[in-house]
Amino acid sequence: MNGKNNMAVGFFTMGFFMLYGFLLIYLRDFAPDKQAWIDTYTTGKHFETRLAHVHGNLFAFLNILIGYLLLHFKERLSHVKAISWLALIGLLMPLGILAEVYLGAPPIFVLLGAISIIISVFWLGASFYKMKQVA
């Protein structure tokens, strides 16, 4: 695992959450009970699904970026595999929000994903900071 999977999974995840965004638009503008959906804009399931949509696309983009950087700098960075896995596990955060809303899942997936993506980003930042310049 050297970044390629982060890019592939990142693009698939971004596509999924883009489609999910269209579902949210449908629920807001065209669904038969759209007024009830609009009335709960800042609370409950509506708010949670918007959080999942936004974070899903952000974390997908982060995986694409992290994957590209890991591929490009894999020979000069340490812990590439761990950073890659942590970024992928980070996708549990937005998926965990959806699992909470639709399946009643516990928030542990949200927490695991959030902690993983944060560690991945900081670890990659530290790795770049420590990286030697090529003359």
Please check whether residue 15 lies inside any domain of the structure. yes
The whole-angstrom separation of Cα 75 and Cα 59 is 24
Residue environment code for 3-14, b if the CB has 16+ CB neighbours within 10 A, otherwise e:
bebbbebbeebb
Banded model confidence at residue 6, pLDDT cuts 50, 70, 90: very high
CA 107, distance to chain mean position in Å, is 15
71 lies in a domain? Answer: yes
Is residue 30 in a domain?
A: yes
Its domain, for residue 97, covers: 4-130
Residue 4 contacts residue 67 (beta carbons within 8 Å) = yes
> 31: pLDDT confidence band, cut at 50, 70 and 90?
confident
Mean pLDDT of 61-74: 97
Residue 41 confidence (pLDDT): 76
Domain total in the chain: 1
Residue 48 lies in a domain: yes
Tokens of 2: 């050297």
| 135, part of any domain | no
What is the pLDDT confidence band of residue 33, given thresholds at 50, 70 and 90? confident
Residue 132 in this model has a pLDDT that exceeds 90: no
pTM here is 0.91
Tell me if 21 is assigned to some domain: yes
61 in any annotated domain: yes
Q: At what angle do helices 44-73 and 4-29 cross, to 10 degrees?
A: 160
Identify the DSSP state of 3. S
Q: What is the mean pLDDT of the chain?
A: 93
Task: Give the tens place of pLDDT for each residue, 95-130.
Answer: 999 999 999 999 999 999 999 999 999 999 999 999
Task: Collect all residues with Cβ–Cβ distance below 8 Å to 126 and sequence separation of at least 6.
Answer: none
Domain for residue 112, yes or no?
A: yes
